[in-house]
Amino acid sequence: MNLAISRRRPTMTIKKGFVGILVANRAQRKHVLNQYLSYNAAGVKLISFTPSSIDWKRRTVVGLHRVKGRWSIGRFPLPQVVYNRCYGSDPLLIERLEATIGGDHYFNHINQLNKLDIYNKLNRWLAPNLPETIPYEEADVMSMLERHMEIYFKPLFGCMGKGVYRAEMNPSGDIRVGQHYFAPKTVTSDHVFFQEHMKKLVSSNPYIVQKGIPIRQIDGQVFDIRALVQKNEQGLWSVTNLVSRIAYKGSFNTSIFVKTCLSQEILKKLYPPDKVQAIMTSIYDVSLRTAEIIEMETDYHLGEFSVDVALDSDAHPWIIELNGKPQKDLYRGIPNRSVVYQRPIQYARYLCGKPSL
C-alpha cells in the first residue's frame, strides 16, 4: 500500500459529519476502517487514526481514509466525533480528547470494564439474573465453593477467557481445578493445598470469584448468547442481534469457539417455538435494562457493548459478563451483519449533529 501524507493545511467542511475511528496502531487502521466504510449508510466522512498520530498543539491527526477508491493518508482536524476501538483506557488520552472535542463526542472511551464494579451496579436492579460475584479474597473462597459447589475465578479486567479458572467440589469433597476445559488439571481434597494453588494461579492480579451456572448445552457443547446492544441514529439503545458461540467439546470457555450462529438457530433445536420467543424476549429486556443501568449509574459514554448470557437448565438467563469492545470478527457469516457496523456510525452521525458540551 503506497501511501503519502498530504501536507496541505487541513480544511474540511462536511455536511453529514466527520468521524474518526481510534485504533491501537497503524497496522489496524486499514482493516478496521474498511469494515465500517463498507456499511457507511450514514454518509459521514470516516478516517482511522492512532493515539500517537494526534498533534495536540495544532489539534490535528494523521489518519487513513479512502478517497476516489484509493487509500490515502492525510492530516486532518480532530474529528467532530471519535469512536474508540482501542482496548483499554488511557486516562490522559481520555482527558485530553474530552477537553478538546467534548466528552459527549467521544464514545466507548472506557471499554475495559471492571467486572466487580459492573456487578455491583447491576445487582441493585437485576439480582435474579446475576450469579453471585465477590472480590477474590482467600478467606472467602472456601465458603463460596461449599455454598455453590462450582465457582469461577476471573481477572477483574480480563477478556477472551484469559486467566479464567474453574473449581468444582464433588460430593466426596474432592476439589477439581481446570482452565478452559471441564477436565481438571489439578484434583485435591486438601483445602490448604487448594488455596495455595489458586494463589499461585491468580498471582498478584485482581480477581473476582463467581458462582458457577449449570449451563444448558447443545450436543454436549456449552454455548452462550451474546446480545449486541448499540445506540441507533436517534441516540437510543437497541439490541442489534443475539449471536451464540459454541465451545469445543469439553470446554467451558466460549471465547475459544467452534462456530458462531444466530442464537435463534440453537434455541429452536432445544425448545418449542413459544419458549424460544419467550427466551429471546427476556434476553432483549435484560440487555436493554443493563444499558439503562450502566448509563444511569456510571459516567461511561458507551455507544455499544455486548452482554454475554448463559441459560441454565430451566432456560433462565444469567448475565455472565459485559464486553465494552465487542469483538466484530465473530459476526462473519452471520446474516444481516451489516447493521453491526452501521449502528456505531449512525450513532456517531447523530452526535455530530449535537453541540459539544
Domain boundary among 211, 234, 258: 211
Secondary element (H or E) of residue 259: strand 257-262
Residue 161, pLDDT > 90, answer no
Within a domain: 261:
yes
Average pLDDT over residues 346-354: 95
pLDDT of residue 29: 97
pLDDT for the residue 158: 79
Do 312 and 254 lie in one domain? The reply is: yes
Whether residue 276 sits in one domain with residue 180: no
Mean pLDDT along residues 333-345: 93
Task: Supply the pLDDT for residue 336.
Answer: 87
Q: Specify the CATH number for the domain of residue 81.
A: 3.40.50
Domain C-terminal end among 160, 185, 211: 211
Give the residue ranges of DSSP H helices in the chain. 26-37, 91-101, 115-126, 138-148, 191-202, 263-270, 273-297, 338-352
* Res. 8: pLDDT tops 50: no
User: What confidence category does residue 9 fall into, taking pLDDT thresholds of 50, 70 and 90?
Assistant: very low
- Co-location of 148 and 187 in the same domain: yes
Once rounded to an integer, what is the mean pLDDT over residues 31-52? 93
- If one counts the domains in the chain, the total is 3
Residue 16's pLDDT is 76
Instruction: Average the pLDDT over 103-112 and give the result.
Output: 94
Rounded Cα distance between 227 and 120, Å, is 20
Q: Across residues 314-322, what is the average pLDDT?
A: 97
Q: What is the mean pLDDT of residues 52-60?
A: 96
Q: Which three cell numbers stand for residue 161?
A: 477467557
pLDDT of 357: 67
pLDDT at 162 over 90: no
347 located within any domain: no
Domain CATH code at residue 170 = 3.30.1490
Q: Do 266 and 241 fall within a single domain?
A: yes
pLDDT of residue 90: 87
pLDDT at 307 over 90: yes
On whether both 160 and 33 belong to a single domain, the answer is: no
Residues 157, 252: one domain? no
End residue of a domain, out of 147, 180, 211? 211
Mean pLDDT over each residue of the chain, to the nearest integer: 93
User: What is the predicted pLDDT for the residue at 200?
Assistant: 97
User: HEC profile for 280-340?
Assistant: HHHHHHHHHHHHHHHHHHCCCCCCEEEEEEEECCCCCEEEEEEECCCCCHHHCCCCCCHHH
- 221 and 316 share a domain? yes
Range of the domain at 50: 18-107
Beta-carbon-side half-sphere exposure of residue 328 (alpha carbons within 13 Å): 18
Residue 154 lies in a domain: yes
Instruction: Tell me if 223 is assigned to some domain.
Output: yes
Statement to judge: residues 265 and 122 lie in one domain = yes
Phi, psi of 5, deg, nearest 5: -85, 130
- Regarding whether 198 and 222 lie in a shared domain, the answer is no
Domain presence at residue 335: no
Q: Is the dihedral of CA 177, 115, 157, 192 positive or negative?
A: negative
User: Does any domain span residue 83?
Assistant: yes
Instruction: Report, as an integer, the average pLDDT of 263-280.
Output: 97
- The mean pLDDT value for 260-268 works out to 97
Q: What is the CATH number of the domain that holds 231?
A: 3.30.470.20
Answer yes or no: are the C-beta atoms of 234 and 183 closer than 8 Å: no
pLDDT of residue 333: 87
Residue 252 reports pLDDT greater than 90: yes
**Is residue 1's pLDDT more than 80?**
no
Shared domain for 39 and 76, answered yes or no, is: yes
pLDDT for res 88? 83
Question: Between 356 and 62, where is the model more confident?
Answer: 62
Query: In the predicted model, what is the mean pLDDT of residues 135-152?
Result: 97
State percent of the chain over pLDDT 90: 88
Q: With bands split at pLDDT 50, 70 and 90, how would you rate the model's confidence at 7?
A: very low
Q: What is the pLDDT of residue 13?
A: 47
Q: Is position 61 within any domain?
A: yes
pLDDT of residue 14: 54
| 68 and 51 within one domain | yes
Task: Tell me how far apart the alpha carbons of residues 256 and 253 are, in angstroms, rounded to a whole number.
Answer: 6
Amino acid at 165: Y
* Region of poorest pLDDT, from 40-49, 163-172, 311-320: 40-49
Handedness of CA 248, 118, 146, 200 (dihedral sign): positive
Residue 316 lies in a domain: yes
Are residues 149 and 80 part of one domain?
A: no
